[in-house]
Amino acid sequence: MIMEGVSGPAPEEMAFGEALGELEAIVAALEGGQLELEESLARYERGVALLRALQAKLADAQQKVTALIGELETEPAEDM
């Protein structure tokens, strides 16, 4: 996968799985050690942006789950 320029959709607008897949591809390319310095830096920057977006999505999901658990705990138990 050639990523010269390393552009693409804004990480915040990507689905979680799509962003994670791109981040994994970037990590593999960087670990391969075959990239020029400039390309490595561009991919690293894109990876950081993807990581931040993924962390924000996870934090949002955790907040939603916590809120749902709180709602369940405050609901009165139904008699069976």
What share of the chain has pLDDT > 70, as a percent?
Answer: 88
pLDDT (0 to 100) of residue 2: 42
Domain definitions of the chain by residue range: 11-73
pTM here is 0.80
Selected from 3.30.390.50, 1.10.940.10, 1.10.287.1040, 3.30.590.10, the CATH number assigned to the domain covering 11-73 reads 1.10.287.1040
Contact 16, 57 (CB under 8 A): yes
Question: What average pLDDT score do residues 59-66 get?
Answer: 97
Which two three-digit tokens encode residue 36?
């020029």
The DSSP secondary-structure symbol of 5 reads T
Contact 45, 72 (CB under 8 A): no
pLDDT band (50, 70, 90) for residue 80: very low
User: Three-state DSSP class for 80?
Assistant: coil
- For every residue of 50-78, DSSP letters joined together read HHHHHHHHHHHHHHHHHHHHHHHHHSPPP
Residue type at position 54: L
Q: Residue 45's closest CA among 28, 30, 60, 34?
A: 30
pLDDT digits (tens, 9 = 90+) for 37-51: 999 999 999 999 999
pLDDT digits (tens, 9 = 90+) for 11-47: 999 999 999 999 999 999 999 999 999 999 999 999 9
